[in-house]
């Protein structure tokens, strides 16, 4: 394929999605910059790294958009095996940060492999459900999809990383609900999930994870410990009022009362410094982005594209709801980043790669 043909493909982009993603990334960069420059000794290392990761992610987005998404289906089972091996190696050779063995540190750069495994997993699940679409009402296929998902979830929980485990479950459950499965079987599945969740609470969740959930229910249980982050986040959100305190002028973030302000709690910083209007604008950007993704899904007739697009939609929607929810004290703190906005190279690169896949679907399906 010649250079002109590549440019002709790029011209068929959904430019609304492209623009919305750039706006969200710009929001994140501005906030990360503001946090880094207002310290006694300015530190722009996070900002500079985020710029570099944005460059890498942008290239990945272009490359994925130029590759026919149907080629990904051919390697779906290989992708699953690769993802499984990555998670096993992570448990053996990974670096533990804040109690979670979830990073490879290479040359001073931390890589969070589970973010890349999410991409591999959603491709695999899209292939599995599109292949089995006419037989998904059979218990053997439901059970097989659950085994594939449970294997990944189990490895992720051994790190332990509750937030990422929830994403894997959301992908599986969301795509399963799109299948023609009898209602009573879905009820049985939900009852089984409740039993598994209860068993997980009793036998598998770490004490600090249980404490996070209990603190979510009542932050006052440990206001200076596990409830501290949530309490400070709620204070930051409330103090922003309508117009905010101004960029670089939020006391919760600038005086470092709010931990992980560039990452997990960046939405609280937006609300504090830009107020209800700034935070509301970010929410509108996400809503419009979800709408444009939904249009791509609705417009395609290819089963694999529908499952793949829906899986990507589920990833973005779930992470956004959980992250904003924990910033508002409505969800437990799980460490999930806010897509395109939170500092974090692995998350940004994968998020842009997923956007590239969506663009590939749009281009090949000739959607308008």
d(C-alpha 267, C-alpha 41), whole Å? 24
Please state the separation of Cα 349 from the chain's center in Å.
Answer: 11
Here the tokens at position 6 are 């590549």
Preceding peptide of 365 cis, ω within 30°? no
Angle between helices 76-93 and 139-157 (to 10 degrees): 30
d(C-alpha 96, C-alpha 100), whole Å? 5
d(C-alpha 77, C-alpha 337), whole Å? 27
d(C-alpha 314, C-alpha 333), whole Å? 19
d(C-alpha 317, C-alpha 172), whole Å? 14
pLDDT of amino acid 331: 80
Beta bridge partners of 276: none
Q: From the first residue on, what is the mean pLDDT of each consecutive set of 10 residues in the chain (368 residues)?
A: 67 89 94 79 84 96 93 96 96 84 82 95 97 90 95 90 92 94 89 84 68 61 63 79 76 67 86 90 96 94 95 97 89 85 93 96 74
**Whether 69 contacts 308, CB under 8 Å:** yes
**Whether 113 contacts 85, CB under 8 Å:** no
Please, what is the end-to-end C-alpha distance for the chain in angstroms? 23
- Residue (of 219, 258, 295, 331) closest to 38 by Cα position: 258
**Whether 321 contacts 267, CB under 8 Å:** no
pLDDT of amino acid 289: 97
Here the tokens at position 62 are 């272009």
Q: What's the helix, strand, coil split of the chain in %, to 5? A: 70, 5, 25
The domains of the chain are located at 3-365
pLDDT of amino acid 245: 80
d(C-alpha 100, C-alpha 114), whole Å? 12
């Amino acid at each position: 394929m010649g250079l002109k043909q590549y440019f002709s493909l790029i011209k068929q982009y959904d430019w609304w999605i492209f623009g919305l993603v750039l706006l969200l990334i710009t929001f994140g960069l501005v906030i990360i910059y503001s946090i880094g420059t207002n310290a006694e000794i300015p530190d722009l290392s996070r900002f500079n790294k985020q710029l570099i990761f944005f460059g890498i992610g942008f290239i990945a987005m272009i490359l994925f958009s130029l590759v026919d998404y149907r080629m990904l289906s051919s390697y779906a089972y290989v992708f699953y095996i690769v993802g499984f091996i990555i998670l096993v190696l992570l448990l053996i050779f990974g670096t533990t940060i804040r109690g979670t063995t979830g990073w490879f540190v290479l040359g001073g750069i931390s890589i969070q492999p589970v973010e890349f495994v999410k991409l591999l997993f959603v491709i695999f699940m899209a292939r599995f459900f599109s292949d089995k679409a006419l037989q998904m009402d059979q218990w053997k296929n439901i059970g097989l999809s659950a085994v594939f998902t449970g294997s990944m979830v189990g490895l992720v929980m051994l790190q332990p990383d509750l937030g990422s485990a929830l994403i894997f479950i959301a992908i599986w459950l969301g795509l399963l609900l799109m299948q023609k499965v009898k209602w009573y079987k879905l009820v049985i599945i939900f009852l089984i999930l409740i039993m598994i969740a209860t068993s997980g609470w009793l036998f598998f969740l770490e004490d600090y994870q249980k404490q996070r959930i209990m603190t979510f229910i009542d932050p006052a249980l440990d206001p200076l410990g596990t409830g501290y982050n949530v309490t400070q986040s709620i204070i930051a959100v409330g103090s922003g009022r309508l117009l905010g305190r101004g960029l670089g002028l939020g006391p919760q973030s600038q005086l470092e009362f709010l931990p992980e302000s560039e990452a997990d709690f960046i939405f609280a910083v937006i609300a504090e410094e830009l107020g209800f209007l700034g935070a509301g604008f970010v929410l509108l950007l996400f809503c419009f982005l979800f709408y444009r993704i939904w249009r791509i899904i609705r417009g395609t007739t290819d089963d694999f594209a529908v499952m793949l697009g829906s899986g990507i939609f589920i990833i973005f929607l779930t992470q956004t709801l959980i992250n904003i929810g924990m910033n508002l004290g409505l969800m437990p703190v799980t460490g999930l980043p806010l897509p395109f906005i939170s500092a974090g190279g692995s998350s940004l690169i994968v998020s842009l790669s997923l956007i590239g896949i969506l663009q590939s679907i749009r281009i090949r399906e000739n959607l308008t």
